[in-house]
Structure 1
Amino acid sequence: MTNPSKKTVIVEKAFDAFYSGGFHATGVDALADDAGVSKRTLYKYFPTKEHLIEAVLDHYGATVRTYLIDAAAERSDDPRAQIMALFDIRRDLMLQQQFRGCLAQQAAQEYRDRHVGIEQVGEATVHYFEAHFIALCRQAKLKEPAHLGKHLHLIFQGAVAASQMRRDVTAFTTAKSIVRSLVA
């Protein structure tokens, strides 16, 4: 087994730091210390903190997409069941992550109108999930799949936001009840 590159270590450590401390509150000195590198090394790979945030969001997006979508597909071949499974899997992830919510959504909100690259990378992850819900609706041959998929995604994001704010996952139970009636 090979050791991860310094760049990978920096991204993974920054992911943890940004997720727990926020983007603006987490300084470059702390990021370098956490990764066990000098600031010079950090800046060698990421010329600005914003470049690092973009890399972290790419990492987050790829990780969460793979985790959620693969886990739902492993549970069932049926697209309706996969839709329902996404809510269960995300609920469980909220508990594991101590209610930290969606990092991409947080970044898009924190950097709205401040840094186009961060905003775009954050929004790309959010839009990816909307497209996935639409694709599942098409596979299930549900009526108006684009319209319904957007609604399901909105319900999904609402459950994530409510759970994060309340530090309680019961929003996923309510969301699943609504979704069940929409995909029946």
Structure 2
Amino acid sequence: MSAVLDALGGRRSHSKVTAATPTHEDLLPLVAVAARVADHGALRPWRLIELRGDARRRLGDALVAASGATGTDATSLAGKPLRAELLIAIVASRRESDKVAAWEQDAAAAGVGHMLSLLLADAGWGVMWRTGPLARTAPVRDVHRLADSEELLGWLYVGGVPEGAKTGVRQVIDPAEFLGVLSALPPA
């Protein structure tokens, strides 16, 4: 098996990470490679936003405002962005195009997010992509300063891999169940 298949086959989400994080400068070459995903029209219909320090608290406040939660529910919700020292917001930043539909631009943005998560994992960082029902609410949009043409796809929570963390464990699939051949499909 190639090194790429080994790296991808061992990927797993890390719901808990340590306080260690890559620097902004560490992220730049990874973002440059992640930008190589399929992107019809080379529109680059995406952007990434680093949230560190107080920006995570402001996101927590926006989550609380969006939910209307109070008391312990609000405290719990406000703490969610504090689970990692670095969050990277993945934003679909749609461009005007007669040739490339909005869904295709969103797919390119999601591809960048996924590719970045793979690159971070391969570099030894713990990563988990998180979303939720509040990701597209007005307070959350406002804290990220999204334009009307943008949608938040979620956040990569990034940090160090805790000592003793499990290695990649996923249920093995039968790829033949998911890979069909058109000539073998019954007629429509």
Does TM, normalized by the shorter one, top 0.5? no
TM-score range, shorter chain: under 0.3
Higher share in strand: 2
Q: Which has the higher helix share?
A: 1
Higher RCO (CA-CA < 8 Å; seq separation 6+): 2
- TM-score (norm. length: structure 1): 0.24
